[in-house]
């Protein structure tokens, strides 16, 4: 079993109250091209133990089952388990911190655990530079989203 964890962050010039809700299954539809999910809970309100499905997104090579592990909106923290059966498990954490009224620090961690030779191969090739580029794209997509709203 292979395991790896990367953490990256960025700042963005928007209030935490507007930014944090974008890191949910429904919120990501607003700013991530091609993002969609299958809502199996009947509600769009995120909460702990909320479950949704995706086809291929965020390093997925198979369909993924997402479970909300922790959801603490008062402290602007959300964690997900992302299970790709027979392949790998991801633990994703997004933490937003208020720096100023209109300036937010976003810190994102992705931890992957391989469940098979295919999953282990992914984990072993998941480099810090690749991850840095991936999270840099998040910042660019969010900036584009906010610019399109002006």
pLDDT tier at 60, thresholds 50, 70, 90: low
What are 113-141's pLDDT values in tens digits?
999 999 999 999 999 999 999 999 999 99
CATH superfamily membership of 3-149: START domain (3.30.530.20)
Q: What percent of the chain has pLDDT over 70?
A: 95
SS3 142: helix
**8 Å CB contact between 145 and 27:** no
Quote the pTM value.
0.93
Q: How many CB atoms lie within 10 A of CB 127?
A: 11
On the question of pLDDT at 57 being above 80, the answer is: no
**8 Å CB contact between 84 and 63:** yes
Q: What percent of the chain has pLDDT over 90?
A: 89
Measured between alpha carbons, how far is 62 from 54 in angstroms, rounded to an integer? 9
On the question of pLDDT at 1 being above 90, the answer is: no
What are 11-38's pLDDT values in tens digits?
999 999 999 999 999 999 999 998 899 9
On the question of pLDDT at 150 being above 90, the answer is: no
Site of tokens 């809700």 = 21
């Amino acid at each position: 079993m292979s395991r790896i964890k990367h953490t990256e962050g960025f700042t963005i010039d928007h209030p935490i109250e507007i930014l944090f809700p974008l890191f949910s299954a429904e919120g990501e539809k607003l700013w991530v091209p091609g993002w969609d999910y299958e809502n199996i809970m009947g509600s769009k309100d995120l909460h702990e133990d909320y479950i949704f499905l995706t086809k291929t997104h965020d390093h997925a090579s198979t369909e993924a089952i997402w479970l909300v592990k922790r959801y603490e909106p008062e402290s602007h923290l959300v964690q997900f388990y992302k299970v790709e059966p027979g392949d790998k498990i991801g633990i994703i954490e997004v933490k937003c911190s208020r720096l100023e009224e209109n300036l937010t620090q976003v810190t994102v961690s992705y931890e992957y655990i391989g469940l098979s030779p295919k999953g282990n191969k992914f984990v072993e090739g998941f480099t810090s530079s690749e991850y840095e580029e991936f999270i840099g794209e998040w910042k660019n997509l969010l900036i584009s989203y906010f610019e399109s709203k002006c």
